[in-house]
């Protein structure tokens, strides 16, 4: 059976991609949160039932007994040689720390929308030495200096069977974004405050304790309830990401989306893409003017008919972009075409 070693950077993405790879018939193991799928190190998502081999967890814990999620790790050749594929999610230290051990394996690298000109240069050098395959989340990354190319564009997923049932009975505008004040520029925190000042706003996310109106970090079930019950979701993005999980989750739930446009959303390079998924006034709203963003929020809070229309159309659009089945077929095609598997 084909086996894949997954080197994680983001526990939610790890959770979702491990499920897909396992469903495709790959035998998987993750150096990340889900070393033991039934007891994740970072429990932002529930435990998993995976196609795996628990001996790998025992071996890894002997190899790295003090490993912490997102920590640096030195892999042994004996351990690595049990796997047909190695997938590296964003962190280049996985490659740097283990180059001699992994260089001859089938390597898959995913920058997860967080690449830079420096990283593109590193990827170009690695591609000259190996048959490295690169997975992007967005075609917008092509503008990066020294772009190293891609072998597939596969977005993250949101499970439509989990995120659904929008009601909007709480007439509030909700934002989910971690470290928002600490990352004030990339997360547009000052702009967020201006847009929502005086409105019934709710802010959730990790490490927002320095924001007086923050409501803390919700559990998985609470997060889904937040999107179901609140009237509007305001997404400010996180530069340089093309889009965020929180945008995807609200969109899939049917919580009417308001987000920023390219002038506000882009950083040094125009990699921001979320606004392109929205037909303004049909399945969501976007703007680069703070007054317009505030107006759209107020209209959705006021007009029940408008909110319901945007909700239905937004979820329909999200299904075409981010649903689990769409992503699963993209991964199946990637493995079958590039490695002649028959998944």
Q: What is the pLDDT of residue 70?
A: 82
pLDDT at 69 over 90: no
- Global pTM value: 0.93
Specify whether 177 is located in the same domain as 49.
no
Residues 182 and 128 in one domain: no
The rounded mean pLDDT for the chain is 95
Q: Note whether residue 78 is domain-resident.
A: yes
> Is residue 101 located within the same domain as residue 226?
no
Per the structure, how many domains does the chain have?
2
* 231, pLDDT greater than 90: yes
Domain extent at residue 290: 170-322
Q: How confident is the model at residue 43 (pLDDT cuts 50, 70, 90)?
A: confident
Q: Is residue 256 part of a domain?
A: yes
Q: Judge whether 163 lies within some domain.
A: no
Q: Could you tell me what percent of the chain has a pLDDT over 90?
A: 92
CATH number of the domain at 237, please.
3.40.50.2000
One domain, residues 303 and 331: no
- Shared-domain flag, residues 17 and 59: yes
Contact at 8 Å (CB) between 152 and 171? Answer: no
Which strand ranges, in their side-by-side order, compose the sheet holding 201-204? 201-204, 170-176, 230-235, 257-260, 285-287
Residue 101 pLDDT exceeds 90? yes
């Amino acid at each position: 059976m084909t086996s894949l070693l997954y080197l994680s950077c983001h526990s939610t993405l790890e959770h979702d991609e491990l499920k897909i790879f396992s469903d495709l018939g790959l035998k998987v193991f993750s150096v990340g949160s889900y070393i033991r799928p039934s007891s994740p190190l970072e429990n932002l998502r529930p435990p998993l039932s995976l196609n795996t081999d628990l001996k790998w967890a025992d071996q890894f814990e002997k190899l790295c007994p003090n490993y912490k999620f997102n920590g640096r790790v030195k892999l042994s050749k004996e351990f690595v040689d049990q796997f047909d594929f190695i997938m590296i999610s964003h962190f280049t230290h996985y490659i740097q720390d283990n180059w001699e051990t992994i260089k001859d394996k089938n390597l898959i690298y995913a920058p997860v929308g967080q690449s830079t000109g420096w990283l593109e240069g590193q990827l170009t050098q690695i591609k000259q030495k190996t048959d490295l395959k690169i997975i992007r989340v967005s075609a917008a990354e092509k503008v990066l200096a020294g772009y190293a190319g891609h072998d597939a564009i596969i977005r993250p997923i949101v499970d439509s069977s989990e995120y659904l049932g929008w009601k909007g009975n709480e007439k509030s505008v909700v934002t989910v974004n971690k470290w928002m004040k600490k990352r004030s520029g990339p997360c547009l925190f000052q702009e967020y405050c201006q847009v929502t000042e005086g409105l019934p706003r709710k802010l959730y996310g990790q490490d927002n304790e320095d924001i007086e109106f923050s409501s803390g970090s919700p559990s998985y079930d609470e997060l889904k309830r937040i999107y179901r019950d609140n009237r509007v979701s305001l997404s400010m993005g996180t530069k340089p990401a093309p889009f965020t999980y929180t945008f995807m989750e609200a969109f899939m739930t049917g919580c009417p989306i308001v987000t920023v446009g390219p002038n506000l959303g882009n950083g040094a390079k125009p990699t921001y893409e979320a606004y392109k998924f929205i037909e303004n006034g049909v399945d969501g709203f976007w703007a680069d003017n703070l007054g317009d963003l505030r107006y759209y929020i107020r209209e959705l809070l006021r007009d029940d008919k408008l909110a319901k229309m945007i909700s239905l159309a937004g979820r329909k659009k999200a299904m075409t972009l981010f649903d689990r089945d769409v992503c699963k077929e993209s991964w199946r095609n990637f493995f079958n075409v590039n490695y002649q598997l028959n998944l």
